[in-house]
Structure 1
């Protein structure tokens, strides 16, 4: 089985590059939820902006960063065609973005001072076309609330790898998501830790800089795949 490629952000140490899930043999009990789930899919909307929800734990560091960077790139590529929001599985509702996230976004010319953390609820997942999560555990929570989103829920790094691997060409939006889900179905056994984007809060020095490094190229390839840009 062919492994998904690594998306390089720079010539730094390989462990600090954006990585994507790779197949491996493991018991079914340890597979990610999409390997065994059988719930019927919720129908995707055929009109209106393409709705994306980004999910992390607190909705203060990773998901606001991805939300604003991905939203800005999609708006540049396809003005008005996409709407990106974010929420957290254990949000401190109303809290602002983490200082490190605000600083990273400012370095990209984006002001996120107005960000306020929101809690992940079933209502946040209504009419959504794509859910992007920071970690597999966040995907699990999304699917607990909305099992029908199985084929539209991906970790951020996983989706970036699929975008590179899919060779989608003229596909865009919902067609790209369908292609990514079909491709993932052939890679049911996943080396899970490579799918997670580590929480930079209260971790090692330089964690936010590493988060930025791992995020930039992934945002670029995901946005171009969604917008149908070559």
Structure 2
């Protein structure tokens, strides 16, 4: 029996020590609780501080929010990393542009985090379908919705807090955590259709 490979998500910011690792760890932790083993979430930076651990504020946020900060090391975004991804989440529109410069074909798989969180709840998807099928349906619809919606483009960016005040770190947190939660809620809602049938089937087997 063939095993479905995990759906791969990459998060991208500049130094890969603040915004993108926070999204990486929160998203991975949340998805693992909902659909264990179905996703691999990683991150990279367009100007990475190579090998660095998470910035201390970020490490604190990650731990307080219930995820792990262990074993993290910043890495540089490369075309080779992009080649293996099913979905890319940029932290700003500028990062999104850089991703598409490196791999133009990824235009159809790349959103900013807040952009996708804004659009995804409005996208009809087949509930209960396998992860890859759901996303292959949702992504083209999200791209179409992106071109139709009027909004302030700045609302799609997450502020860069690096070497700035605690207030800016808090602003960043308030931009990231609701957006991540939207993606997790979408995953949870779209997997719930499978669970009652699985439960009933296993229950029937005991009688």
TM-score range, shorter chain: 0.7 to 0.9
1:141 aligns with 2:102: no
Question: In structure 1, what is the equivalent of residue 131 of structure 2?
Answer: 173
Between structures 1 and 2, the one with greater helix share:
2
Q: Which residue of 2 aligns with 1:217?
A: 178
TM-score (norm 2): 0.81
Q: What is residue 121 of structure 2 aligned with on the other side?
A: 164
Structure 1: how far apart are the matches of 2:116 and 2:83?
A: 21
Q: Are residues 1:208 and 2:165 paired? A: no
> Which of 46, 49, 57 matches 1:89?
46
2:12 maps to which of 49, 55, 60: 55
State the partner residue of 1:41. none
Name the CA shift for 1:147/1:103 in 2 (closer, same or farther; >3 Å). Answer: same
Helix, strand or coil: the match of 1:197?
A: coil
Shift in CA distance, 51/79, structure 1 to aligned 2, threshold 3 Å: same
The range that moved more, 106-115 or 157-166, is 106-115
1:82-132 superposed Cα distances (whole Å, 9 cap, x missing partner)? 000000000011011111100101112333142110000011112211000
Which gives a bigger RCO, structure 1 or 2 (Cα 8 Å, sep 6+)?
Answer: 1
User: Partners in 2 of 1:110 and 1:65 — Cα distance?
Assistant: 9
- Counterpart position of 2:34: 77
1:108 to 43, 58, 65: 65
Query: Which has the greater radius of gyration?
Result: 2
**Alpha-carbon deviation of 1:168?**
3.2
SS of the aligned residue for 2:77 comes to: coil
Question: Is the 8 Å Cα contact of residues 200 and 211 (structure 1) preserved in structure 2?
Answer: yes
Gaps of 5+ in 2: 193-207
After superposition, where does 1:150-161 map in structure 2 within 5 Å?
A: 150-161=107-118
Structure 1: unaligned runs, 5 residues or longer: 1-45
Contact 1:51/1:128 (8 A) holds in 2 = yes
Measured in 2, the distance between the counterparts of 1:48 and 1:103 equals: 32
Match of 1:3 in 2: none
